[in-house]
Amino acid sequence: MATKIPMVDYLVLEPEPHLVANECTSCGARFFDHRSGCAKCSGSDFKKVSIDTDGVLRTFTIVSMAAPGIDVPFVASIVECGGTSVRANVLNTLADPEHIKLGMPVKLVTYSLGTDTEGTEAVGFGFEPKEGN
> What is the full per-residue pLDDT of the chain (133 aa) written as tens digits?
579 999 999 999 999 999 999 999 999 999 999 889 999 999 999 999 999 999 999 999 999 999 999 999 999 999 999 999 999 999 999 999 999 999 999 999 999 999 999 999 999 999 999 986 6
Q: State if pTM tops 0.85.
A: yes
CA distance linking residue 108 with residue 64, whole number of Å: 23
How would DSSP label each residue in 41-85? T----EEEEEEPSEEEEEEEEEE---STT--SSEEEEEEEETTEE
Residue 1: predicted pLDDT: 59
**Total number of domains constituting the chain:** 1
Contacts of 65 (CB under 8 A, 6+ apart): 72
Residue 132, C-beta contacts closer than 8 angstroms, at least 6 positions apart = none
Task: Look at residue 132 in the predicted model and tell me its pLDDT.
Answer: 65
Structural contact between residues 5 and 16, judged by C-beta atoms closer than 8 angstroms? no
Exposure pattern of 106-115 as b/e (b: 16+ CB <10 Å)? bebbbeeeee
Structural domain containing residue 101: 4-129
Angle, vertex CA 41, rays to CA 46 and CA 52, nearest 5:
50
